[in-house]
Structure 1
Amino acid sequence: MKNKKLNIAFFGSSLVSAYWNGAATYYRGIVRALSERGHHVTFYEPDAYDRQQNRDMEDPDWATVVVYEATEEAAYKCLEAAASADMVVKASGVGVFDELLEREVLKLQTEERLVVFWDVDAPATLDRVHHNPDDEFLQLIPQYDMVLTYGGGDPVVTAYEALGAKKCVPIYNALDTATHFPVEPDPRFACDLAFLGNRLPDREARVDEFFLKPAALELNKKFIIGGSGWGDKQMTDNVHYVGHVYTKDHNAFNSTPKAVLNISRESMARYGFSPATRVFEAAGAGACIITDYWEGIDFFFEPGKEILVAKDGAQVAEIMANLSAEKAKVIGEAAYKKVLAAHTYHHRAEQLEKLLYAKVKFTNEALA
């Protein structure tokens, strides 16, 4: 059974560019880990949002990348090519022709070919369909063989199953040990507290509370914010905006500051059990992480020992006021040990493989 190696067609936002594409490192970790287990992924991504002009990697040798024009004709050609796969994945948030792809991938479903919806922003998707009973996706959910999510825990699973999903399983973010690891400090990112995240509507108010408010309360400390879209944001003088941080600089960004801040988007904090990819990336670099509170943190890291938790900006400021470099180092080292032991993409790919092999569509004959 375990000898069966799958040919997977994956429709996602982008594998080769993290520009306005927070899911990139998640895709890379999962796809690389699947490749290391002998499976082959063809990743179909549209040429959109200037992502190809802001690539941060060449085409990898562990996946086939197909960049298609942002036209319906090009999307249909990719769907036609995907018909040779054992499994077809439609990820959420491709950004171009999402509704078309959600509908058309299901036409590739056969007794032998799985079609899976992989939701990399389940809280947003669920909010969307709950607020719009006419959303076409509501009728499609029960047709997929499986819904995978990159977070959300029981609340998301329960919500998807209530909408008719045959099976919903979280495949959580994790650490890609090939790309994220401790490095020497970089003076560009030297500060007391750093935050990395793009400016998004359901994140901005939480950045105001958990990052900019503590910066205003601790004016004697230095803060750094990275990510796209913050250029015109009003900030105190002790906050330095460094713009988009390419993945090649993530290790230095995480390894250098005394502490690194994680701020969940509002919808993910509400559902809980939704650790951002950057939590694992920062832990993989040995960073001392401070996170906003969300249900399920202790499922991944032990609060107080492996991660520090704040319920509001005042608590972030209090943590920073009392955090010594020595204590930060101890917490970062504990998080590093935990992530290597339980939260790498090798762990996630192994979980996914067991799920896929359990599906009855793959007969014993096909799996031999």
Structure 2
Amino acid sequence: MPERLRIAFFASSLVSAYWNGAATYYRGLARALHARGHALTFYEPDAFERQRHRDIPDPPYARSVVWDPGDPSALERCLEEAADADLVVKASGVGVHDALLEARVAGLRRPGNRVAFWDVDAPATLARLAADPGDPFHALVPRYDLVFTYGGGDPVVRAYAARGARRCVPVYNALDPATHHPAPPDRRFEADLALLANRLPDREARVDEFFLRPAAALPDRRFLLGGAGWEDRAVPPNVRRAGHVGTADHNAWNSTALAVLNVSRDSMAATGFSPATRVFEAAGAGACIVTDAWEGIERFLAPGEEILVARDGAEVAALVAGLDAARARRVGAAARGRVLAEHTYARRAEVVEAALGVRGARPAPEPALAQGWAE
């Protein structure tokens, strides 16, 4: 492919993180790819009040085109424009017209370009296919030149290969040091353990186990719960709700609490090899991270040294009870050093270029897990 690509993304949103957990991932990759000379356009629907809750202006590293999902001609204009790109991407979870976009983007393949499906929730997509043999996406998977995923490792690569994917390449979440870094503490976010996570059906039981159960067990410790949807959830008296926390406050959030908690969604925990965006955000700020256990974590951060791992709520409570500020600083500093060395979006951009065969691209770094190629 050309040394400098024109890349068109059909995705949930680049400019709004509201009910959009992939925003940081998109921004980090877009900034890194732009820095390497590529031109990116994100086509995103005006849906789910995201445009009313934008948290960044149009960025200098990508063009944002917002289309009206109620106007069929608006999407057609976007598809017509995107057809000229060197790489056209349909991301999972756009939220509106996903099935239509899966078919239409696959249909934009022509000599001289590539089309890719970028799965930001591979466990959910694969579960959807397993549950419905008649899903039209079964026939579309082989029509894409590549499937990129932002997690899942070899299990996801094998699953996509079994469904006819030509190539499947994990491009994991990472850190953008320009946006996520240490910040001065903020009294609003003082806590012994802080969890920032929107309320989702396939994560709520794990939040109960790994956050609310430890809070109940440690009544003298301070717990802070951020994210949308928790307003009517009963919580122990030592849990304070912060509501939606905008991205502008994430560095202060991660730099203030004694420790921050990562709780995976059910499907991500079951699949493994799926570090959440928030893990790298927190590590970039030098936070002491406590995470629920999942397979493959040691490929990204060293348990006990760069991240603290718990198998259940009782272990979370024990970790918090035994944690002092000195150890929290050591763990946070070690995590920050590791992600700056190995897990930045600049490194991930090299993986993308290598997968696409970009002329002049440097060889992709050896990943923590081997990228899978299914021919």
Q: Same fold (TM over 0.5)?
A: yes
Structure 1 letter corresponding to 2:60: D
- In structure 1, the residue matched to 2:321 is 321
Structure 1 letter corresponding to 2:32: A
* In the alignment, structure 1 residue 162 sits paired with structure 2 residue 162: yes
Query: 3-state SS of the aligned residue for 2:107?
Result: helix
Offset of 1:25 from its aligned partner? 0.4
User: Deviation string for 1:133-155 (max 9, x for gaps)?
Assistant: 11111111111000000000011
Structure 1 letter corresponding to 2:282: A
Structure 2 letter corresponding to 1:149: T
1:165-244 equivalences in 2 (<5 Å) = 165-244=165-244
The share of aligned pairs that are identical, in percent, is: 62
Distance 1:320 1:107 in 2: 52
- In structure 2, the residue matched to 1:364 is none
Query: 3-state SS of the aligned residue for 2:135?
Result: coil
Distance 2:201 2:317 in 1: 24
Offset of 1:73 from its aligned partner? 2.3
Distance 1:278 1:73 in 2: 36
**Maintained 8 Å contact 2:3/2:358:** no
User: Deviation string for 1:56-84 (max 9, x for gaps)?
Assistant: 00001111100000133211111011011
- In structure 1, the residue matched to 2:368 is none
**Maintained 8 Å contact 2:193/2:224:** yes
1:54-203 equivalences in 2 (<5 Å) = 54-71=53-70, 72-203=72-203
User: Deviation string for 1:323-350 (max 9, x for gaps)?
Assistant: 1111111000000000000000001001
- In structure 1, the residue matched to 2:370 is none
Distance 1:46 1:345 in 2: 25
Distance 1:246 1:343 in 2: 23
Query: 3-state SS of the aligned residue for 2:127?
Result: helix
**Maintained 8 Å contact 2:43/2:67:** yes
1:8-47 equivalences in 2 (<5 Å) = 8-47=7-46
User: Deviation string for 1:192-223 (max 9, x for gaps)?
Assistant: 00001111110000000000000000110000
Structure 2 letter corresponding to 1:47: D
Structure 2 letter corresponding to 1:242: A
Structure 2 letter corresponding to 1:141: V
- In structure 2, the residue matched to 1:365 is none
Distance 1:216 1:51 in 2: 34
- In structure 2, the residue matched to 1:259 is 259
- In structure 2, the residue matched to 1:352 is 352
Structure 1 letter corresponding to 2:10: F
Structure 1 letter corresponding to 2:99: E
Between the two proteins, the alignment pairs up a number of residues equal to: 358
Distance 2:130 2:292 in 1: 26
- In structure 2, the residue matched to 1:290 is 290
* In the alignment, structure 1 residue 249 sits paired with structure 2 residue 249: yes
Distance 2:31 2:278 in 1: 18
* Gapped regions of structure 2 (runs ≥ 5): 360-375
Over aligned residues, Cα RMSD in angstroms? 1.0
User: Deviation string for 1:156-196 (max 9, x for gaps)?
Assistant: 11101001101111000000111100011000000000001
**Maintained 8 Å contact 2:183/2:252:** yes
Offset of 1:293 from its aligned partner? 0.3
1:272-283 equivalences in 2 (<5 Å) = 272-283=272-283
Q: TM-score, normalised on structure 2? A: 0.94
Query: 3-state SS of the aligned residue for 2:185?
Result: coil
- In structure 2, the residue matched to 1:363 is none
Structure 1 letter corresponding to 2:171: I
Distance 1:280 1:253 in 2: 14
Structure 2 letter corresponding to 1:15: L
Q: Which range is displaced more, 202-211 or 74-83?
A: 74-83
Query: 3-state SS of the aligned residue for 2:184?
Result: coil
Offset of 1:311 from its aligned partner? 0.3
Structure 2 letter corresponding to 1:334: A
Distance 1:354 1:132 in 2: 33
Offset of 1:107 from its aligned partner? 1.6
Distance 1:293 1:75 in 2: 41
Distance 2:136 2:73 in 1: 21
